[in-house]
């Protein structure tokens, strides 16, 4: 007979990140691009616990007008986000990097529960600890209502295929 962990222990263990998360700073163009793609892949999984593992336990976020402090608040934020943003697909692109900082631009598409489609454009500034975990994330985002026929992201939910065009290729 296997022992069942209490639900709170399962939730707590899901928020325990490895001590390092390569690549680590200082970033090169190659490692910064790798970090950006890893973040894109994690967010496209729409798994809040998985996404939260990329951040320090006390990570600080500003996402639009909402502030999150620590992994538990990040998980709660992402659960709320993806409960409202259906058919979510994201593309991130490296904008700049220096030392332990990376700046990205991104666009994601989703629909709401009424069937209205949107494309959201934004920029993020990231700062990492030497472990490769992100300690600061500042995001500025604007939403654009679009017609379903204007959606450009059509891959199956999950990771964007390697051959799929990026933001610049799509003219975004």
* Residue 162 falls inside a structural domain: no
Residue 7 has pLDDT above 70, yes or no: no
Domain count, the chain: 1
pLDDT in tens, 16-34: 657 899 999 999 999 999 9
* Residue 125 falls inside a structural domain: yes
Q: What is the pLDDT of residue 6?
A: 47
Q: Which of 5-9, 54-58, 104-108, 151-155 is the least confident region? A: 5-9
* Residue 136 falls inside a structural domain: yes
Closest CA to 61 of 76, 50, 46, 47: 76
Q: What is the pLDDT of residue 155?
A: 97
Q: What is the CATH classification number for the domain harbouring 40?
A: 3.10.450.50
The phi and psi torsions of 81 (rounded to 5 degrees) equal -55, -55
Average pLDDT over residues 104-123: 98
**15 band by pLDDT with thresholds 50, 70 and 90:** low
Q: With helix as H, strand as E and coil as C, how does 74-112 read?
A: HHHHHHHHHHHCEEEEEEEEEEEEECCEEEEEEEEEEEC
* Residue 38 falls inside a structural domain: yes
Q: What is the pLDDT of residue 161?
A: 98
* Residue 168 falls inside a structural domain: no
* Residue 41 falls inside a structural domain: yes
Which is higher by pLDDT, 9 or 48? 48
* Residue 115 falls inside a structural domain: yes
Q: Which of 8-22, 110-124, 156-170 is the least confident region? A: 8-22
Tell me the C-alpha distance between 79 and 77, whole Å: 6
* Residue 47 falls inside a structural domain: yes
Which is higher by pLDDT, 9 or 34? 34
Tell me the C-alpha distance between 131 and 4, whole Å: 32
- The pTM is what? 0.90
Tell me the C-alpha distance between 29 and 35, whole Å: 10
Range of the domain at 128: 21-150
């Amino acid at each position: 007979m296997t022992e069942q962990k209490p639900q709170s222990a399962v939730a707590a263990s899901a928020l325990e990140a490895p001590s390092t998360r390569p690549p680590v700073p200082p970033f090169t163009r190659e490692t910064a691009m790798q970090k950006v793609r890893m973040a894109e892949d994690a967010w496209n999984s729409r798994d809040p616990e998985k996404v939260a593992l990329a951040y320090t336990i006390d990570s600080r976020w500003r996402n639009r007008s909402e502030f999150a402090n620590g992994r538990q608040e990040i998980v709660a934020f992402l659960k709320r986000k993806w409960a409202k943003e259906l058919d979510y697909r994201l593309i991130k692109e490296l904008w700049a990097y220096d030392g332990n900082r990376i700046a990205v631009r991104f666009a994601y598409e989703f629909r709401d529960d009424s069937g209205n489609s949107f494309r959201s454009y934004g920029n993020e500034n990231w700062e990492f600890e030497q472990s490769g975990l992100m300690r600061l994330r500042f995001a500025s985002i604007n939403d654009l209502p679009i017609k379903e026929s204007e959606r450009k992201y059509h891959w199956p939910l999950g990771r964007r295929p390697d051959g799929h065009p990026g933001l610049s290729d799509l003219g975004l």
